[in-house]
Structure 1
Amino acid sequence: MSDISIGVLFGILIFLILLSAFFSGSETALMTLNRYRLRHLSKVGHQGAVRASRLLERPDRLIGLILLGNNFVNIMASSLATVIALRLGGEGAIPVAAFLLTLVILIFAEVAPKTLAALKPERLAFPAAFVYTPLLRLLYPVVWVVNSIANMILRLLNVSPEDMDDQVLSKEELRTVVIEAGAMIPKRHQKMLLSILDLEKLAVEDIMIPRNEVDGIDLEDPIEETIKLLQDSAYTRLPVFDGSIDNIVGTIHVRKAMHALTHGRLTHEVIREICDPPYFIPEGTPLNRQLINFQRKKQRIGMVVDEYGDLLGLVTLVDLLEEIVGEFSTDPADSVQEVQPQEDGSFLVSGSANIKELVRTYHWELPLDGPRTISGLIIEYMETIPEPGTSLLLAGYPVEILQIKDNMVRMVRIQPNKYPQET
């Protein structure tokens, strides 16, 4: 060692510090890689990602290899710094050399490379994977011995390196990922993805058309009225019942009925024959499950029934899809406008207006865990059928009841200014 010049010794020392920086930075980079992005890059054939993914299958071996190399070069650097100190200043220079080497390693071989690796992990991890893959094969016996001893100690603490956490995201974590994706996912697509995640929180009765609003064909009506209903219908499928909506015969595709009409043979008996069997859905079925059921059974419309088999309403595939993509555009002539803004700032709201849609569209703070319509919410709150002209404070909003018909609230006026509720 005494034959080697000081310049060469300093060169070797700098090289060892650079190696230490490589080991420290690559360790942080590999351990902070986004596992889902890594899987994606591996599937598309990125060679650096493929090698990094293989190394991370057994992180204990990778960490053993990195620490073996890092500790080796740090000890070599310390020994070399001691030799340089003895040659430059004798034994008194050893503490100074130890202090300076500690400072240099801390800044240049630990903090700086690890910070860079944490900010740009792929930039360092993928090239490092090309180095560690053959190095692990070369030093595998030494790494195996070190890991075996370390794993034996871990097993005493009931920890096994084979029990790898697959890092499966929960639904709430996945929701956070979608929200924080920012500009990577368009706002509209974010809403759709979040709506899919929320499907299981809703059941079919939350989106169904209640039975009193269901349009259908009554086989006891004159055939002329049935024909007019088919010609004026805005729907492609209609339920068919016999005398009462509780006696469902099936559902009919309007196109089939009009085809029979053009051939002059549309009768109630023909309607019975061309009807599809009714498809019944339990009221508590989650929307995510019902979406699969619609696909599996090749159905587009279902009758929602309670535990006693009584009909509660009707739900269609379109209703369910609207929970994901939002309302489909419709012709104003095909539907009644349920919310009408007034010049004084108030809103005329139909009693059948869906509370969830009002909250989504106008951001009103109405309760979502009770009735699904404004009429139902008012009747539940008052515990009676109110008289026209009645005023009340509903969830902090001044509400005036304008019209009552068939034991239902048909029209109300809502002031958007919310008053503080009494506690």
Structure 2
Amino acid sequence: MVEESSGNLWFAAAFVVFCLLLSAFFSASETAFTAASRSRMLVLEKGGDRRAKLVNRLLEMRERFIGTVLIGNNIVNIGVSAFATSVLVAIFGDGGAIYATIIMSILVIVFAEVLPKTLAISSPETVSLVLSRPMSWAVALLGPLAIAVERIARVMLRPFGIRIGENTPILSASEEIRGQVALLHKEGGVAKTDRDMLGGLLDLEDLSVSEVMVHRTKMRTINADLSSEEIVREVLSSPYTRMPLWRESQENIVGVLHAKDLLRALDAVGGDASKLKVEAIALESWFVPDTTSLRDQLKAFLAKKTHFALVVDEYGEVMGLITLEDILEEIVGDIKDEHDLSVQGVRPQPNGSVNVDGSVPIRDLNRAMDWNLPDEEATTIAGLVIHEAQAIPDTGQIFTFHGFRFQVLRKSRNRIMAVRITPLSLVRPRAE
């Protein structure tokens, strides 16, 4: 009898350990599979890893996978608790139920929940690959029951207006990528320059050419009615290789003159500029709507094999010009060469404030200073101040919004020329 009782105890202990291992398996699987990187698994699958293929297949049937984990975990935990209770009640009487509750709570929490989930979250990809095959067996075994439970849950939630699987994701794919990159940057895994480049690439679809173009007030153009000698001098003194030609009015663009074409033509006539017919050398103007997205304009540049276009509004009026370089700068930041002007328009001060030209784009300032000023309603800093103030402010006026203090330094007629921007964290409160 003693040997039989001892054998029963060993069987009970072995059964409890087995159930705890099963519970740990389900807990670790739930944590590892949900925390594993989908992009990493996709790369492994394309590399021929069959285990990664199983992981991706299980994640595609997420509801069935979660249902299997929950059903398996609950069956195992309830079963082992009931078994342990019956064994301890047989040994200790009514007090065995209390002992069973205490002992099984400790065992389940420590060995079936905390330890496996801690291990899984520390290396989710590795753990999910190891558990991929047994988890696929579990889903195949408990799948029908999971489907039944899922349907019951759908029916019970329907009166509350909740329809599983019919809600669209809150975040778009680009927002998900942007959030991941921002998180990795915060944790030190992605450099600021790389984060800005990825963010700029994702922004191409949301930005229009009117937001990054060179405004017509800053366009460098040439009067086509000037003499050939004067036009040659204008081109040679310009830092740009492409110059719009206009006649009668600067709004009337009649062509685009390329410096290389001009020099080739000049060489062909033996250097005698008076023999040149400039308009015959000029390229045909290419006009694009101001609402064109940067992504579409980039594709158009590549398809047309040109780098320069004029931007017009809905009435056909020239608003500015856009170049391939302008679009690339939205991705990689400012591209400077030996002919570019050195003025940046952003001048940090020793006290932490920044003096900014009114024409500086908000996006450029955010990238340079790692700020997050909104650019939905305005493109430039001057436009942001006017939008927030709901008026054209005077020199010396101070405004506070978006966590910064804006002081107008210079103004010319109705244009804000310079602004001093100071983070509120650096502004000392006035003494009462």
Same fold, TM exceeding 0.5? yes
Question: Matched residues in 2 for 1:174 and 1:192: separation?
Answer: 13
The reply to whether residue 296 of structure 1 matches residue 303 of structure 2 is yes
The reply to whether residue 189 of structure 1 matches residue 194 of structure 2 is yes
1:228-377 → structure 2 map (5 Å cutoff): 228-264=233-269, 270-331=277-338, 334-335=340-341, 337=343, 353-354=359-360, 356=362, 357=364, 361=368, 369=377, 372=380
Question: Matched residues in 1 for 2:131 and 2:28: separation?
Answer: 9
Contact residue 371 and residue 377 of structure 1 kept, 8 A: no
Question: Matched residues in 2 for 1:417 and 1:367: separation?
Answer: 16
Question: Matched residues in 2 for 1:317 and 1:180: separation?
Answer: 31
- Amino acid corresponding to residue 312 of structure 1 in structure 2: M
Query: Pick from 32, 35, 38: which aligns with 1:35?
Result: 38
Which residue does 2:409 correspond to in 1?
Answer: 399
Which residue does 2:402 correspond to in 1?
Answer: none
TM-score (norm 2): 0.74
Query: Pick from 180, 183, 198: which aligns with 1:177?
Result: 180
Deviation at 1:311, TM superposition (A): 1.8
Query: Pick from 39, 45, 48: which aligns with 1:45?
Result: 48
RMSD between superposed Cα atoms in Å: 4.5
Flag the structure with larger Rg: 1
Corresponding residue SS for 2:7? coil
1:109-128 → structure 2 map (5 Å cutoff): 109-128=112-131
Contact residue 391 and residue 398 of structure 1 kept, 8 A: yes
Structure 2: segments with no counterpart, 5+ residues:
400-405
Structure 1: segments with no counterpart, 5+ residues:
none
Contact residue 256 and residue 283 of structure 2 kept, 8 A: yes
Deviation at 1:94, TM superposition (A): 4.7
The reply to whether residue 133 of structure 1 matches residue 136 of structure 2 is yes
Deviation at 1:92, TM superposition (A): 5.1
Question: Matched residues in 2 for 1:110 and 1:375: separation?
Answer: 56
The reply to whether residue 13 of structure 1 matches residue 16 of structure 2 is yes
Corresponding residue SS for 2:251? strand
Question: Matched residues in 1 for 2:242 and 2:62: separation?
Answer: 58
Spell out, residue by residue over 1:291-331, the C-alpha distance to the aligned partner (whole angstroms, 9 max, x if none): 33333333311112222222222222212222222212233
Structure 2 vs 1, CA of residues 239 and 101 (structure 1 numbering), >3 Å: closer, same or farther? Answer: same
Aligned positions, number:
405
TM-score (norm 1): 0.75
Contact residue 245 and residue 256 of structure 2 kept, 8 A: yes
Deviation at 1:243, TM superposition (A): 3.8
Which residue does 1:154 correspond to in 2?
Answer: 153
